[in-house]
Structure 1
């Protein structure tokens, strides 16, 4: 009788590392965690992390969360995020990633769209009461049955996960582990509007492998992640890479340059994961050359159209791998050569590492007849981006599609045959890791009264930045905050100094 082995899961990868070296360093908090959350930073071995994961997973099962139900998570880049994700998977749950800057309006939409049964958050993040935000959003989401939080001074009705982790040893739940099952749900904005994007464990591992293999990270590496974890790219470039390398994961809450430098030095980090424009600035300033152990830098491009015109990588010591992000649809990586220039990207299969003869195929890049870039491969959630069926046509009449059109405008360079990404999707504004419909911005501005304007201006570091104008900027900020909108919008109406 042939026995089949279930495909790997993230928790399965963690358990393998636990069995291999239980007392090795596993996770380290940001050094300034006390400023961010009010909680002291912690460092955990794999065995210590296992005890906390088991306690959290047991709690999720005991409160009656059924297998395959959704648990929404809004946490900073601290060890609580990693522990919660792995515990949820061990309990058979699907994790919905809620970006940190989301406020009540976006939280409520996401919770209702996914039918989430529980929410996990932090009492305070950067001075904002996320516990109150979660409680208020949960009131408007009828599917929510449990609201949990880390930290102190939690509101009445919110379960303290600090107390849960402080309990004695508990047996691990016996949820079925299968990599083909949904692991996370992230959120994207396309021309069709707000979109929930589910991914399996195999999708996540494929995304992490694409980065891991291309950047040639060694086994046992210490990885410092300074990239927000609330997206597919954030998970793939931190949690998954950590589980693949088997070393330690050091977390940095974006962004404090002094704290980042101190942490790289103290932890003797081998790998830095950060937004690509930030990594380039650090290298140009000579900061990264101060750390001899640092050999690999993974730079994530939220605005991939900017990568080709970026300056040459000056680092002789550390190699830079550009990772091109296309919203939540997918990504691919390209390690820069000795000249420091971005690698030419050509249509067809993309392999990792690209310089190797026996490289593995991690996906495929396509140029559509519309002149846009499309992605195909094991990390791509094709069903999540399937076009809606036009009126009067049955789904059977639609041509089968095994790729996702990212909407990014692209063309072929006649001389080199390389793809040139020229513009982001039409009608979409990207500010850092957040995407908005340009139409929605205009609608919110109209609510502020006659003469109000909210627009997006190009920004080298974040893709775009918001700028706003109203008859009374202070009142406009209060109005947008009262509507429960992302603070990126309200801060667009900040008063400028005379010299600003």
Structure 2
């Protein structure tokens, strides 16, 4: 077990469940995994998952990756991602989560910024050759010494992991991760630009506890997550909530509504973790009303200023918990009462669960002198947002007292409720991705005179990118050659229903 037994690592939590209930179903792949990666979907018990994790951890150690090295991971919402994260922790590594839509420019920046020693990916995701992307980005990152992947037809020089995972471990690898040291790195965009956000196991556990306790996630629950686990909230509401519940984590690769509805019903899901816009859409369509066991829905608001303008929740059997996301800085959670209206949040210390007579501190909100929302508490990596943090990966230096989220906020004079009024200026949130508006303008300028790239409101993802150029097809080709995120590329779409449908799919990842 870890050196700090009083505060378990994520792998410690997993192995405690293995010791208690090895035959319990642990992980279930998306039903349409064959479409996503070309591989058949799997179901693993805790004992089977533990054997795969041990084999991968031993392989990482044998490959020469030193303890506390950063291993970057770009994978879809499938079983292999969660096995890789836990295996990396068992080998004493720090996992940097790379969003699926990132292409070479962003991948290279992230690898260089974190000093990653390795990158793990899948041969293809939704028809895109991610193995080649990883190899190209690794070639531009001086620190990379090891590249590996799952799936078939991997390029030369990339270590295949499917056979490794299926074989007995080469050596026994002890869990050497200290729960107080960095475990997960996600990435954020603030007014100061792109920055890595390292978090400890304790940070991660704190975020997962807030979500599990506030939503009343039952023990041994079957939790279906449709959140891409490349953000703090996405991982806390899937991996960490699953480990805290000790139940089954079922995965949905965003988004196929028919597949999602089938999974909810056939798996008998107790809880669902999805973007808020999709939760409202499913409720309006009556998809959730017929779910036989669904008790709880975690609705993630990437645009928290929109919570109080949302419709009332009408599902009698499944309670909705609003999850307010403030980039990678932290989150707040509030379970809606029986009337289905959002629960007001007030400044100060927040306990969890809120209605309990005695509760643990989930965090604290405050108003800064700039009229913005500040966060502090056990899940908030304050040092990562210090002014000099973008140039380092050290989370142990003396930090300021709180993180300024940049969200404009005020209190209601009559009720004292906290009102979030606007997102951070100069930052555009599209689904799970954040961009500096200045960067969008700079990329548009590269396309010539008259080109424009901007954000428009979108019901499902908050905002979507829209572009205009003299020749949209040539603009898409140019942006693709520059290695940019498809959200930018597809912004210059043709005026056709097919292109619009493609844009909607991209924006909600």
The alpha-carbon deviation at position 472 of structure 1 amounts to: 0.6
Partner residue in 1 for 2:156: 156
Matched position secondary structure for 1:307: helix
CA shift, 1:388, in A, is: 4.1
Against the structure 1 CA distance between its residues 178 and 6, is the aligned structure 2 distance closer, same or farther, given a 3 Å change threshold?
A: farther
Shift of residue 357, structure 1, vs aligned partner: 1.0
Do the aligned partners of 1:67 and 1:175 also contact (CA within 8 Å) in 2? Answer: no
User: Which residue of structure 2 lines up, in the alignment, with residue 401 of structure 1?
Assistant: 400
Alignment RMSD: 1.6
Name the SS of the counterpart of 1:289 in structure 2.
coil
Please report how far the alpha carbon of residue 414 of structure 1 lies from its aligned counterpart in structure 2 after TM superposition: 1.1
Cα deviation for residue 171 of structure 1 reads 4.2
- Which residue does the alignment assign to 2:226? 226
Distance in 2 (alpha carbons) for counterparts of 1:63 and 1:400: 35
Within a 5 Å distance, the mapping from 1:234-249 to structure 2 comes to 234-249=234-249
Measured against aligned partners, the alpha-carbon deviations of 1:304-342 in whole angstroms (never above 9, x if no partner) come to 111111000001010000000000000010000011000
CA shift, 1:22, in A, is 0.2
Judging changes above 3 Å, is the alpha-carbon distance between structure 1 residues 274 and 400 closer, same or farther for their aligned structure 2 residues?
closer
Q: Return the alpha-carbon distance in structure 2 between the equivalents of residues 93 and 298 of structure 1.
A: 30
Q: Aligned partners of 1:252, 1:46: CA distance in 2, in Å?
A: 19
Q: 1:60 to 1:4 in 2, by over 3 A?
A: closer
Instruction: Check whether the contact 1:6–1:178 (CA below 8 A) recurs between aligned residues.
Output: no
Tell me the SS of whatever aligns to 1:441: helix
Shift of 1:352: 1.1
Per the TM alignment, residue 401 of structure 1 is displaced from its structure 2 partner at its CA by 2.3
Please list every run of 5 or more consecutive structure 2 residues that lacks an aligned counterpart in the other structure.
Answer: 390-397, 501-509
Is the alpha carbon distance of 1:422 and 1:181 closer, same or farther for their aligned partners in structure 2, counting shifts above 3 Å? same
Aligned twin of 1:486: 485
Could you tell me how far apart the structure 1 residues matched to 2:182 and 2:6 are? 14
1:255 aligns with 2:255: yes
What corresponds to 2:14 in structure 1?
A: 14
The residue number in structure 2 matching 1:448 is 447
Which residue of structure 2 aligns with residue 200 of structure 1? Answer: 200
Instruction: State the 1:368 CA deviation.
Output: 1.1
Contact 1:411 1:419 in 2 (8 A): yes
- CA–CA distance in 2 between the matches of 1:467 and 1:168? 50
Deviations 1:58-99 (A, max 9, x none): 000001000000000000000001000000000000000000
- Equivalents in 2 of 1:433, 1:488: separation in Å? 11
- Structure 1, unpaired ranges of 5+: 390-398
Contact 1:351–1:362 (Cα < 8 Å) also in 2 = yes
Map of 1:473 onto structure 2: 472
The superposition leaves residues 326-369 of structure 1 with CA deviations (integer Å, 9 ceiling, x where unpaired) of 00000010000011000101000111111111122111111112
How many matched pairs?
Answer: 490
Map 1:49-448 to 2 at 5 A.
Answer: 49-388=49-388, 401-448=400-447
**Cα separation, 2, equivalents of 1:457 and 1:259:** 28
Q: Give the TM-score normalised by structure 2.
A: 0.94
Partner of residue 395, structure 1: none
Q: For 1:437 and 1:344, how far apart are their aligned partners in 2?
A: 30
Judging changes above 3 Å, is the alpha-carbon distance between structure 1 residues 121 and 174 closer, same or farther for their aligned structure 2 residues?
A: same
Task: Report the TM-score when normalising by structure 1.
Answer: 0.96
Choose 350-359 or 50-59, whichever is displaced more: 350-359
CA distance in 2, matches of 1:497, 1:166: 45
